[in-house]
Structure 1
Amino acid sequence: MAKSVLNRAPLWTRICAIAGCVLMFASGGTLVAGQSLLSKYTGDITNDALLDTGAAKAGKKDIKGPLTILLVGIDPRKATTPPLSDSILIAHIPKDMSTAYLFSIPRDLYVEIAADEKSGLRAHSNKINSAMALGSQVDGKIDVVNGFQVLAKTVTNYTGIKDFDAAAIINFGGFKKIVEALGGVSMTIDMDVKSEHLTPEGTQRPRLRSCPISGNCAHPYTGPQAYYKKSTKPVRLQPWQALDYVRQRYEFKGGPPMTDYDRQRHQQQFIKAMAKEALSKDVMTDVGKMTKILDAAGESLTFAGGGNGPIEWAVALKGVNVDDMVTVKLPGGGKFVPGSNKYLGEEFVPADLAQEFFDAVKADRVAAFLLDHPTLVNKDS
């Protein structure tokens, strides 16, 4: 049963649970014994204060579907710098808890940012990735928890999805160490992509010394670029390649059109690929590797489970298989000031389709909705 629990738990709980399972198998112990060995790690990453409403205020309760989980990736900046939520993903698990649906909220989605008394933030329209940064600025200090709460409220106000049952913040600085501990991942590259940031050797591309005559400094780098060629089957990516690939959102000259929506898809694919990697035989039987993964997880993850810890979530979601996870693409495009070319951010197009999908999440009828709208399902699902 222990192996089943791990193979079918969500990624962030598996990272915490895998080493305990390995040690349990080696010692012939029980799942409970394996859990006790993990207390150091799960305690370090758990902070239920992220969930300011709903499940957190209701106290500890049974983990039963339907469930909705908010996942936020922040960039690895200084502790004194407000965090930007570069990736916002939502996982919906239906009542029967047999699968999971993963979809993204564009980082540049133009929304009304929720007001917040603690940070003195007034409601206003802006890109959604600013919500966490603005909400985290409290009395001259950085309060990441409050920033997350403002972002969660903003997401709720926009989508109508209330009371997240669990939440997680992923700091990409520490996340990189997890991928390094895994030794990379295998992914199918679904389109030709050139790196805006790194050279073919994985080093930082030089910055332009000045803007071109055109004044367009949206792409401030120069020199050779790392290149990820479209493949028909999984290819092995080194840690730096995998993380670089899922960062890209700009097309290159002569290449296919590319937007942030492609980046969202690649991030969803990466989550699935990383989960499979973490549960592979080579990782499951390598205690040293698992220790490195758990150490990295302690640096990169903050988890809120509404009173339940990561292990309890892993056990409750034992029926969710990563291979059955469905990734969803919600189409969109640029939003501009009416009558001008001034870019405000992104919007879902058509807007009513996205709202119908959010309504389906709230009503726990995502499967039926996707049967009627099959083009919203990513090909890898």
Structure 2
Amino acid sequence: MVTGQALVAKYTGGITDDSLLENGAARADSGDKEIKGPLTILLVGIDPRKSTTPPLSDSILIAHIPADMSTAYLFSMPRDLYVDIPADAKSGVRAHTGKINSAMALGSQVNGKINVRNGFQLLSKTVRNYTGIEEFDAAAIINFGGFKKMVEALGGVSMVIDMDVKSEHLAPDGKPRPRSSRCPVTSDCPHPYIGPQAYYKKSTKPVRLQPWQALDYVRQRYPYAGVPMTDYDRQRHQQQFIKAMAKEAMSKDVITDVNKMTKILDAAGESLTFAGGGNSPIEWAVALKGLNVDDMTTIKLPGGGKYASDGDYLGEEFRPAATADAFFQAVKDDRVAQFLLDNPSLVNKDS
């Protein structure tokens, strides 16, 4: 076991990139490395099929930590949220409206190559413009393969399964479900897989999930057998997953043990890119060691489909918009706790 200072001194990981942040390089060179609240952090999960494929931001989560750094509030931006995407000179993207998860993919296409950093910067600007959050104090990009390796390093996670969920993708043994011969890869079948499905039964107490189970559970968003599952359910499960991972990683037997912490970060490897304004992931972990993860609150911002005048689906929108706008203002003003006391319906039942 080692102290926080020794942990920082021994860690030499190289997965930081402060250029993800607005004025990140300048902040990193300023010598001001103090981490203090309030803090707002952008977390983006991507699922690239190939390194040559523009990455879609399948998960967009924001964590707000109040000034006293006692807890955290976690909320999501729907991947299909219909927003104004600003122009970007490097990628040649023109200002337009579209689904928010396309911003990163479009911004990543620079001079015929994939530039994930530029794509993230365009996504960050899009999110900031929409929410009014002026800047993020830290940011992270991780692909789902990296999530799986990190959970493996943790030995799994414990989560309450808040609804019955069947997997679209995996069989009960964790292997991929076979694809129907009627739905070749080149086709656009809504449910192309056949055979038995992995099943996650609703529980009232935390269930220990293997790494593949945890990642599979939080990726599901398709309805089945009358269960009206949507992307909003997936957002909630992803928030619960982040909370569960934080609880495992911030436990006393991990946060003060350099070997365990570096094992978790090394497991992510090149799958994780972190920007901490001049501070490493370990320094952030040590600074946040007093955070009460059990009190971390996950938040549901209600919404629904947005349609054009001809009935075509455009994407998602927050409804009522005034509620989301007021919540974003509460984040800016660091008064989320009071806002949620006044609007308790926004708190997920797991919090």
Q: Give the structure-2-normalised TM-score.
A: 0.92
The aligned amino acid for 1:218 is P
Query: How much does 1:64 deviate?
Result: 2.4
**SS in structure 2 of the partner of residue 266 of structure 1:** helix
The aligned amino acid for 1:343 is Y
State the number of aligned residues.
346
**SS in structure 1 of the partner of residue 219 of structure 2:** coil
Verify: 1:156 aligned to 2:128, yes or no: yes
Verify: 1:297 aligned to 2:262, yes or no: no
Verify: 1:186 aligned to 2:122, yes or no: no
Cα 1:360/1:288, change in 2 over 3 Å: closer
The aligned amino acid for 1:180 is E
Query: How much does 1:379 deviate?
Result: 1.2
**SS in structure 2 of the partner of residue 45 of structure 1:** coil
| Residue matched to 1:344 | 314
| Residue matched to 1:333 | 304
Q: Which moved more, 1:361-370 or 1:317-326?
A: 317-326
| Residue matched to 1:33 | 6
Verify: 1:241 aligned to 2:225, yes or no: no
Q: Deviations over 1:19-73 (max 9, x none)?
A: xxx4x2xxxxx5433322211x2xx1111010134x6544453322221111111
Distance 1:49 1:201 in 2: 41
Query: How much does 1:249 deviate?
Result: 0.7
Distance 2:76 2:267 in 1: 24
**SS in structure 2 of the partner of residue 90 of structure 1:** strand
Distance 1:329 1:153 in 2: 22
Cα 1:199/1:111, change in 2 over 3 Å: same
**SS in structure 2 of the partner of residue 69 of structure 1:** strand
- Tell me, yes or no, if the aligned pair for 1:51 and 1:149 is still in contact at 8 Å: yes
- Tell me, yes or no, if the aligned pair for 2:22 and 2:136 is still in contact at 8 Å: no
Query: How much does 1:142 deviate?
Result: 0.8
Verify: 1:263 aligned to 2:234, yes or no: yes
The aligned amino acid for 1:352 is A
Structure 2: runs of 5+ lacking an equivalent: none
Distance 1:268 1:80 in 2: 29
Distance 1:176 1:144 in 2: 20
| Residue matched to 2:244 | 273
- Tell me, yes or no, if the aligned pair for 1:110 and 1:345 is still in contact at 8 Å: yes
Q: Which moved more, 1:143-152 or 1:306-315?
A: 306-315
Q: Deviations over 1:347-370 (max 9, x none)?
A: 111111111111111111111111
| Residue matched to 1:202 | 174
| Residue matched to 1:146 | 118
The aligned amino acid for 2:284 is W
Query: How much does 1:156 deviate?
Result: 0.8
**SS in structure 1 of the partner of residue 58 of structure 2:** strand
Distance 2:343 2:284 in 1: 31
Query: How much does 1:329 deviate?
Result: 0.6
Query: How much does 1:283 deviate?
Result: 6.0
Q: Deviations over 1:273-322 (max 9, x none)?
A: 12223355776799876554232122322111112222332333333221
Query: How much does 1:208 deviate?
Result: 2.7
| Residue matched to 1:226 | 198
- Tell me, yes or no, if the aligned pair for 2:10 and 2:258 is still in contact at 8 Å: no
Distance 2:287 2:258 in 1: 25
Verify: 1:81 aligned to 2:53, yes or no: yes
Q: Which moved more, 1:231-240 or 1:308-317?
A: 308-317
Give the counterpart of 1:135 among 68, 86, 107: 107
The aligned amino acid for 1:328 is I
Cα 1:207/1:164, change in 2 over 3 Å: same
Q: Deviations over 1:133-180 (max 9, x none)?
A: 110111111111111000000001111111111111112112211112
Distance 2:152 2:291 in 1: 26
Distance 1:282 1:160 in 2: 38
Query: How much does 1:77 deviate?
Result: 2.7
Distance 1:137 1:253 in 2: 40
- Tell me, yes or no, if the aligned pair for 2:45 and 2:57 is still in contact at 8 Å: yes
Distance 2:210 2:236 in 1: 19
Distance 2:175 2:323 in 1: 41
Distance 1:239 1:221 in 2: 22
Give the counterpart of 2:17 among 26, 47, 51: 47
| Residue matched to 1:366 | 336
- Tell me, yes or no, if the aligned pair for 2:250 and 2:285 is still in contact at 8 Å: no
Distance 2:189 2:341 in 1: 43
The aligned amino acid for 1:34 is L
- CA RMSD, 1 decimal: 2.2
**SS in structure 1 of the partner of residue 141 of structure 2:** strand
Distance 1:178 1:360 in 2: 32
Cα 1:238/1:138, change in 2 over 3 Å: same
| Residue matched to 1:165 | 137
Q: Give the structure-1-normalised TM-score.
A: 0.85
The aligned amino acid for 1:36 is A
Distance 1:309 1:315 in 2: 10
Distance 2:272 2:252 in 1: 24
Query: How much does 1:261 deviate?
Result: 0.8
